[in-house]
Copies of this chain bind each other. A is one copy, B any other.
Amino acid sequence: MEFSSKIIEQAVDAFAQLPGVGKKTALRYVLQIIKQDKNQVEVLSKLLLQLKTDLKFCIKCHNISEQNTCEICLNPSRDETTICVVQDYRDVMAIENTGLYKGRYHVLGGIISPVDGITPSSLNIETLVNKVSEGIVSEIILALNATMEGETTSFYIFRKLAPYNIKLSAIARGIAVGDELEYADEVTLGRSITNRIPFDSLMKK
Does A183 reach chain B (CB closer than 8 Å)? no
Does A38 reach chain B (CB closer than 8 Å)? yes
> Do the beta carbons of B20 and A28 come within 8 Å of each other?
yes
Does A15 reach chain B (CB closer than 8 Å)? yes
> Do the beta carbons of A5 and B64 come within 8 Å of each other?
yes
Does A77 reach chain B (CB closer than 8 Å)? no
B4, B7, B51: the one contacting A47 at CB < 8 Å is: B7
Chain B CB within 10 Å, residue with most, of A1, A49, A96: A49
B14, B46, B64, B97: the one contacting A2 at CB < 8 Å is: B97
The SS class assigned to the A binding surface is helix
Interface set, chain A 49-85, CB cutoff 8 A to B: 49-52, 54-55, 63-66, 70-72
> Do the beta carbons of B41 and A8 come within 8 Å of each other?
no
B3, B18, B36, B66: the one contacting A7 at CB < 8 Å is: B66
> Do the beta carbons of B10 and A36 come within 8 Å of each other?
no
What chain B residues lie within 8 Å of A96 (beta carbons)? Answer: 2, 4
Does A29 reach chain B (CB closer than 8 Å)? yes
> Do the beta carbons of A18 and B29 come within 8 Å of each other?
yes
Cα A205 to Cα B193 in complex, Å, equals 68
Cα A11 to Cα B50 in complex, Å, equals 9
Cα A11 to Cα B88 in complex, Å, equals 18
> Do the beta carbons of B15 and A44 come within 8 Å of each other?
yes
Cα A91 to Cα B41 in complex, Å, equals 24
Cα A88 to Cα B31 in complex, Å, equals 9
Does A175 reach chain B (CB closer than 8 Å)? no
What 9 pairs between A and B have smallest CB-CB spacing?
A14-B44, A45-B48, A11-B47, A45-B45, A18-B29, A41-B52, A33-B51, A38-B52, A45-B49
